[in-house]
Structure 1
Amino acid sequence: MKNLSFFIAALVIVACNGKPTAEEKQKPDSSESELVNNSDTLLNNNDTQLNKNDTLPPPYATKSVVKTSKEIGWPAGKTPVAPEGFTVSRFAEGLQHPRWIYVAANGDVFVSQGDNEKSANNILLFRDANKDGTAERKSVYLSGLNMPLGMVILDNKFYVANNDALIEYPYTAGATSIKDPGKKIVSLPGGKRHWTRNVVASKNGDKFYISVGAASNIAENGLDKEEGRALILEVNKDGSGKKVYASGLRNPVGMDWAPGTNVLWTSVNERDELGDNVPPDYLTSVQEGGFYGWPYAYWGQNEDPRFKGQKPDLVQKSIKPDVSLGPHTASLGLTFYTKENFPEKYRSGAFVGQHGSWNRSKFSGYKVVFVPFANGKPTGAAEDFLTGFIANEEKSEVYGRPVGVAVAADGSLLVADDGNGANIIWKVSYKK
């Protein structure tokens, strides 16, 4: 707990006199304007990507715009669009906020259905017993949960990351439900803002890593409300030995291990209200004891003007992430591709589900992107993989919102689409 106490102590001062004036927000100086006008040289891939060494536009170079999406659902026969050679089909539909997907060793597909308002609070099981690519069985595997997200099967136990706790249940391969009430392993800070909690097991199975998002955008309710948040925890399998593994991560949701390594990666949903193009959401390797900036800095050592001059030491120690995923994209889902069904370029690379923006004048996100990897490290910028979720930009209409991603036993990619009116699990397959 010493690491946790240290991090909390570092966040004891609430921003009060470092806030920019209204004039600073709305009127960038001439040098800032020049940067904005030249932003096409800094941004690529539909104005959403940045290379790690690129310079960001300044904060408040553009106004902070609220543009929420209207989720209209998918017309019959219409699907998202994948690259040539791939097919997209409906693996499951008629669901209720399917947010996350976990695939068991026997091929069973588990889908957690959670939301911060009208939450189904359950986990569904889909089973393809005859291995024909279609799940014949669907059942409610677990119910009575509390805004569940992450799932792990380990040593005949089924673990669920609820909004406020990690819970352990007995697991039997082939069973269609769990009736056991479960056992709390460790408590977590709850709440509706950044409500998702994810969990992954260490490679040797002796520890868990649990992601907990911030309770706010930029600690506007006071840093005392951020105790135990904006971080990734490490705990022993029995819940003992809890410590902060990494901090300064505003909303880390997706987590996975890069194939062939012991390096944990996370997809992070960054802060809002600094303008259209700052800062980018990101995919990054997670360094033990590392600090990634929130709330004092972003994208490395770029100081947030709302905390100007308050913690220069923490700004200087802020780690620059590995891969930009574009500003305001709500990059949440993450999985590495560990099968051989997809073409060579996709093997060992990362797929990221982008839930989509609300704080940008032009939509960003609303797609699944792919980041190529080799030898456990990214080899290029994120590129579009599954698109077509935006129905009409001018009317702010979208068909759905992709989020959780997972690799199925047959090598296909499963994508959770929890948009109101969608509520589908998409299956993306490749024919060799």
Structure 2
Amino acid sequence: MIPDSSKLHTPDSKLNLTERDQKVIWHPYTQMKNALPHIPIVRGEGVYVFNEDGKRYIDAVSSWWVNIHGHSHPYIAQKVAEQLSVLEHVIFAGFTHEPAVLLAERLLPILPGKQDKVFYTDNGSTAVEVALKMCLQYWDNKGTPKTKILAFKNAYHGDTFGAMSVSGRSIFTDAFNSLLFDVEFIDLPNENNISHLISHISNLKDTACFIFEPLILGSGGMLMYEAKYLDQLLSACKEAAILTIADEVMTGFGRTGTYFACEKLTNKPDIICLSKGLTGGTMPLGVTTCTNEIFEAFLSDDKLKTLYHGHSFTANPIACVASLASLDILLKSETLQNIKRVEAKHAVFLEEIKMHPKVKAIRQTGTIIAIEWETGNETSYLSNLRNLLYAYFLDKGIILRPLGNIIYILPPYVISDEDLDYIYAAIKSALEEV
């Protein structure tokens, strides 16, 4: 049926973009009743985004951690444009295409350990869902079903139900807790508890897998821990026949100073989840990689041993091409130099403010630095300080999105020293004024 043209929506020319947004959009992680008007962004270039009035903002959080090379990167844009006129999409069940095959061929050799197969999905949450299903069905296919899962307290692995289940219970999961499957949560390892954690893992029964964010728990507050202790946990898991899943959705593609956080480990994971920086922040794509040992457990004449999972846009050719272009840029020597430069700048800034009385804690791993504000007993994600700091930095043309009383800088690697210094100066001012 052809719709009545008189009922087709025509934008109200009297309203600006923010006003039009308020009439039709429901934004993520937002209490819409009292939300501030959303800032209309019309253009991006490098580390900057620009609003309708031409005001420039430094994107100091890489637009939710995805943009690693800067906005509207001309090389990625060129490759995407070329692919659009060749093949925009094709069903990935029964068919394949060059961008998907080439991306897997290029990605697998640079991943930590011996990753052999790529399973494509749409985003970080779905990459985690696939990883969990791989592990649970692996044991079922082997004839030794295991149903328990191990994860860190305060973890965050996504907002789909499986990903929520293996995430720490919080305001993000509160409305759904009764519907989530049981998971055993353990503390982050340190010198005081590592022996206990190893002993505990050694005694676990029927545990299918251990999922972890390597070195940094992002949404949990940019909580950081040492690679040597994670290494010991992975060793204990291997001894206990527990599969391991590295959620490198945020840490992958250079964030921790190496291309992947798990490069800093001796023991490598069985499965790796990737997204965010995979496409350089241009569009959604998720990847779950695994070893041949896991893959081969699904090879059978018994069709019930098939991994029955898929998405309409699995291995979208345009997203794969964007990822290939992003890899080209990531693997250039100048990109690694930028990563090391940002890392070094953060380290200097850390030393400058770590003794400030309002700095409760400060921590850094690679290009990520997090400052925990002293707020007395109020440390909730819902702390009012969050809104004050968010508005303070926006006024100065900086996008910093605090996690409660924790602010963090996680910029595109192309950010200049001048822009970093401007952000540091703004944080110093906020420590005195907010």
Q: Which has the larger radius of gyration?
A: 2
TM (norm. structure 2) is 0.26
Richer in helix (by share) = 2
TM (norm. structure 1) is 0.26
